[in-house]
Amino acid sequence: MASDISPCTFDILKNPDGEWTIVLSGSLNINTAAGTLSTLTSELKKNALTSLKFDLEKIIDIDDYGALVLYELKNEVCDPDTDFQILNPPEKLQNLMTRMKSNNSKQSRLTSFSSVSNLVIQAGETAIENFKSIKYFITFIGSLVMSALRIFQKPKSLRFDDIIRHMKTTGVDAVPVVALISFLLGLIMAFMSSLQLKQFGANIYVASLVALAMVSELGPIMTAIIVSGRSGSAFAAEISTMKISEEVDALLTMGFDPVLFLAIPRIIAAIIVIPLLTMFANLFAISGGLLIGVTMLDLSATSYISQTINSLNLFELFWGLSKSLVFAILISCVGCLRGFQAKGGASAVGHAATSAVVTSIFLIVLFDSIFAVIRSYWG
Amino acid sequence: MTENSAARVKNLTVKYNNELILDNISFSVDRNEIFVILGGSGSGKTTLLRHMIGLESPLSGKVFIDDINITECSENRFYEALKKIGVLFQSSALISSMTVGENVALPIAEFTDFSKKAIARMVQLKLSLVDLERYEHYLPSEVSGGMKKRAGLARALALNPEILFLDEPSAGLDPVTAAEIDELILDINKQLGTTIIIVTHELASIFAVAQRVIMLDKSTKKIIAEGTPDKLKNECDNPYICKFFNRQTNIEKR
């Protein structure tokens, strides 16, 4: 039922000793409460009060917002020793005021924790959460290994159709964006390096620089970052949605292993397509460098390509591809893990996707550093 | 606890984050019985169901499916128990990227060695049980809530389970569709001899299908009543049970 919209007016009767009586009339409800509260607060705060009385005899409608006005005025305007009274209260007001009082005491208990103990509790809870997360991660790795072993026992349980589908979405569909970004990256690298190398007449080394940088370092990293943004997040979102809508539970009760059903096809697809995408990225970056070499550095296409081939060797190529293989495992495992970890409602899906991308990128950079250290010791 | 029981729960206690959800629950479900787990919102009905189908482990207590204690058995025995059960989840839980037919075919293809053609025929048969033959090629998002439930039921029945668990089968459905689902439950029980365990708080469904009922209490976390729906309604000595069962009668009187 709509609330009465007649206005709330008030008369203030005051004596010099600070004893005030406010006679309210009309409606004190959701429509009028906020305005009445702000007017009365500003009026009353100017004065020191010894007694504050509200006469509600002429009130025709009051609801919980009206009760809130009186409650707020009592707490915000009056001192603890001010005599606060409500005269002629309507019957339902008594109930409302009592309810508000008990709710307020609950709230004060909640906020009475000191910020230091809150901090300790939060730190403890975060530590427990992280510990659980590590435990879940170890369990997940174990499940992956067990599922992989199960495939050897029963190859039929591997879902080839799903692998092909994920190879398409993770690999084929990503070719345009990987190609474009790599092409532009090669172009920029060639252009920026030529500004310096031109001064020494070493234009031809632009080809070596682009080829080496892309094949052994930037190609795998750029591809992995793009795929983690496209597919790692998609894996997490898909699986977490299935978890939230009880689809994963349904698989479990039908006797399926959800890791084998959902994670393994995605991981296998990623392991196959990410190294291939990296090779595409390398090719397109070299094409970008070639464009700059031919159009701005007066190099012939033949000399650029032959310099590129000369500066590369099989070791560099396999080094880059083995990196991208490791990145593929990281991206797909993290995406699936975050999906399975999701709990709660729609926000869990968003959180899983974000967390998958952030963790993947962190792990990509971490493992790239490990590769760099290994290589520096290898010679 | 009778030898004839299809499922048994013994002294089951469940806690989440130190909060007691179920306290020392024990009961058994006879074969071919339609058994209803009843209770208000938040009384732990779905939690009890999730423990009975092995999705969660209890703090203490045992759950037997047939004679397999699924809380303590080996993985192989657990999968053996899973083959004896079918589950219809509250949200139907159909795999959203697969058609209705593919959803029903999923367990058949995984756990039997039939050819694709034979599986397709079996899918048609299962869908005809729930009157959904024409919707085999529809995605779950393209069918109504009632159809989703029926498709979920067909999938749950795919491997002819001995026990069928239904979590709020008529929740969110209009009275006519809910009544159709109730009829389907009775048919399945009668024709296939399947033991059916239902979690619900829909009074109309309870009176339509239940042979025996247990009622969970939100405050004590225990079973507060057990018997036929009529017995619970007419002989209630607990004010909460009376209030629960008499609500519908009061609505009818108004």
Q: How does residue A365 score in pLDDT terms, banded at 50, 70 and 90?
A: very high
Q: What is the CATH number of the domain that holds A93?
A: 3.30.750.24
**Is A242's CB within 8 Å of B54's CB?**
no
Chain A CB within 8 Å of residue B114 CB: no
Tens digits of per-residue pLDDT, A122-139? 899 899 988 988 899 899
Q: How does residue B151 score in pLDDT terms, banded at 50, 70 and 90?
A: very high
SS3 B160: coil
Cα distance between residue B113 and residue A118, in whole Å: 59
Q: Which B residues in the span 143-202 are in contact with A, Cβ-Cβ below 8 Å?
A: 155, 159
Question: Nearest-CA distance from A246 to chain B in Å?
Answer: 5
Q: How does residue A5 score in pLDDT terms, banded at 50, 70 and 90?
A: low
Instruction: Tell me the average pLDDT of chain A.
Output: 88
Question: For residue A155, how far is the Cα from the chain centroid?
Answer: 37
Domain check: are A53 and A200 in the same one?
no
Q: Mean of the pLDDT values across residues B207-233?
A: 89
User: What is the per-residue burial (b if ≥16 Cβ within 10 Å, else e) of A319-336?
Assistant: bbbebbbbbbbbbbbbbb
Q: Mean of the pLDDT values across residues A242-256?
A: 92
Q: Mean of the pLDDT values across residues B221-243?
A: 83
Q: Which residues of A touch B49 (CB under 8 A)?
A: none
Say yes or no to pLDDT of A251 above 50.
yes
Domain check: are A167 and A200 in the same one?
yes
What does each C-alpha distance from B221 to A363, B12, B14 come to in angstroms? 46, 11, 10
Lowest-confidence region among A88-97, A134-143, B5-14, B30-39:
A88-97
**Is B95's CB within 8 Å of A250's CB?**
yes
Cα distance between residue B6 and residue A116, in whole Å: 54
Domain check: are A181 and A287 in the same one?
yes
Cα distance between residue A316 and residue A278, in whole Å: 13
Cα distance between residue A295 and residue A238, in whole Å: 45
What residues in chain A have their Cβ under 8 A from chain B's Cβ atoms? 157, 241-242, 245-247, 249-256
Say yes or no to pLDDT of B244 above 70.
yes
Q: Is A61 or A111 the better-scoring residue by pLDDT?
A: A61
Helix (H) or strand (E) holding A207: helix A205-213
Domain end call among A64, A95, A116? A116
Q: Which residues of A touch B53 (CB under 8 A)?
A: 253
Closest residue on chain B to A158 (Cα): B110
Instruction: Tell me the average pLDDT of chain B.
Output: 88
Q: How many CB pairs under 8 A join A and B?
A: 52
Q: Which residues of B touch A252 (CB under 8 A)?
A: 54-55, 82
Say yes or no to pLDDT of A279 above 70.
yes
- Test the A interface: residue of B47, B68, B82 with most A CBs within 10 Å: B82
Cα distance between residue A206 and residue A208, in whole Å: 5
Q: Which residues of A touch B107 (CB under 8 A)?
A: 254-256
Tens digits of per-residue pLDDT, B64-76? 999 899 999 998 8
Q: Provide DSSP, A238-298.
A: HHHHHHHTTHHHHHHHTT--HIIIIIHHHHHHHHHHHHHHHHHHHHHHHHHHHHHHHHHS-
The pLDDT score that the predictor gives to residue A250 is: 94
Closest residue on chain A to B159 (Cα): A254
Tens digits of per-residue pLDDT, A30-85? 888 888 888 888 888 887 788 888 988 888 888 888 888 888 888 888 888 888 88
The single-letter DSSP state of residue A90 is -
Say yes or no to pLDDT of A282 above 80.
yes
Which of A157, A249, A255 is facing B93, going by the closest CB pair?
A: A249
Chain A CB within 8 Å of residue B106 CB: yes
In the block, which residue shows the tokens 């008990």? A102
Say yes or no to pLDDT of A104 above 70.
no
Say yes or no to pLDDT of B198 above 90.
yes
Q: Which residues of B touch A256 (CB under 8 A)?
A: 106-107, 110
**Is A247's CB within 8 Å of B96's CB?**
yes
Q: Mean of the pLDDT values across residues A186-214?
A: 91
What range does the domain containing A291 cover?
Answer: 158-378
The pLDDT score that the predictor gives to residue A13 is: 86
In the block, which residue shows the tokens 């920026």? A192
Q: How does residue A289 score in pLDDT terms, banded at 50, 70 and 90?
A: very high
The pLDDT score that the predictor gives to residue A198 is: 85
- Test the B interface: residue of A160, A253, A261, A340 with most B CBs within 10 Å: A253
Say yes or no to pLDDT of A103 above 80.
no
pTM of the model as a whole: 0.76
Question: Nearest-CA distance from B82 to chain A in Å?
Answer: 6
Q: How does residue A100 score in pLDDT terms, banded at 50, 70 and 90?
A: low
Domain check: are A251 and A359 in the same one?
yes
In the block, which residue shows the tokens 């190398």? A197
Parallel/antiparallel/unpaired status of strands B195-200 and B212-216: unpaired
Domain check: are A215 and A109 in the same one?
no
Q: Mean of the pLDDT values across residues B39-59?
A: 90
Q: How does residue A1 score in pLDDT terms, banded at 50, 70 and 90?
A: very low
Domain check: are A8 and A150 in the same one?
no
Domain end call among A155, A176, A205? A155
Chain A CB within 8 Å of residue B227 CB: no
Say yes or no to pLDDT of A310 above 90.
yes
Domain check: are A333 and A279 in the same one?
yes
Question: Nearest-CA distance from A6 to chain B in Å?
Answer: 35
SS (H, E, C) A189-201: HHHHHHHHHHHHC
The pLDDT score that the predictor gives to residue A106 is: 45
Q: Mean of the pLDDT values across residues A20-24?
A: 89
**Is A249's CB within 8 Å of B89's CB?**
yes
- Test the B interface: residue of A235, A242, A254 with most B CBs within 10 Å: A254
Q: Which residues of A touch B85 (CB under 8 A)?
A: 253
Q: Mean of the pLDDT values across residues A254-258?
A: 91
Q: Which residues of A touch B87 (CB under 8 A)?
A: 250, 253-254
Domain check: are A77 and A29 in the same one?
yes
Q: Is A170 or B1 the better-scoring residue by pLDDT?
A: A170
Helix (H) or strand (E) holding A234: helix A233-244
SS3 A133: helix
The pLDDT score that the predictor gives to residue B249 is: 53
Domain check: are A149 and A169 in the same one?
no
SS3 B28: strand
Which of A242, A246, A255 is facing B82, going by the closest CB pair?
A: A255
- Cα torsion at A310, A303, A204, A297 (round to 10°)? -150
Q: Is A129 or B237 the better-scoring residue by pLDDT?
A: A129
Q: Determine contact, residues A263/A147, Cβ cutoff 8 Å.
A: yes
Q: How does residue B6 score in pLDDT terms, banded at 50, 70 and 90?
A: very high
Q: Mean of the pLDDT values across residues B202-206?
A: 87
The pLDDT score that the predictor gives to residue A109 is: 44
Q: What is the number of domains present in chain A?
A: 3
Q: Is A228 or B80 the better-scoring residue by pLDDT?
A: A228
Q: How does residue A166 score in pLDDT terms, banded at 50, 70 and 90?
A: very high
Say yes or no to pLDDT of B161 above 60.
yes
Domain check: are A73 and A84 in the same one?
yes
Contacts of residue A131, Cβ cutoff 8 Å, sequence gap at least 6: none
Domain end call among A155, A179, A212? A155
Question: For residue A129, how far is the Cα from the chain centroid?
Answer: 17
Chain A CB within 8 Å of residue B53 CB: yes
The pLDDT score that the predictor gives to residue B251 is: 53
Closest residue on chain A to B104 (Cα): A254
Q: Which residues of A touch B171 (CB under 8 A)?
A: none
Q: How does residue A107 score in pLDDT terms, banded at 50, 70 and 90?
A: very low
Contacts of residue A19, Cβ cutoff 8 Å, sequence gap at least 6: A49, A50, A51, A53
Tens digits of per-residue pLDDT, B104-150? 999 988 888 888 888 888 898 889 888 888 999 999 999 998 899 99
Question: Nearest-CA distance from A253 to chain B in Å?
Answer: 6
The pLDDT score that the predictor gives to residue B229 is: 87
Domain check: are A58 and A23 in the same one?
yes
**Is B55's CB within 8 Å of A253's CB?**
yes
Lowest-confidence region among A132-141, A296-305, B2-11:
B2-11
Question: Nearest-CA distance from B163 to chain A in Å?
Answer: 12
Domain check: are A150 and A200 in the same one?
no
Cα distance between residue B106 and residue A254, in whole Å: 9
- Test the A interface: residue of B91, B116, B157, B164 with most A CBs within 10 Å: B91
Query: Most confidently modeled of A174-178, B56-60, B70-74, B116-120?
Result: A174-178
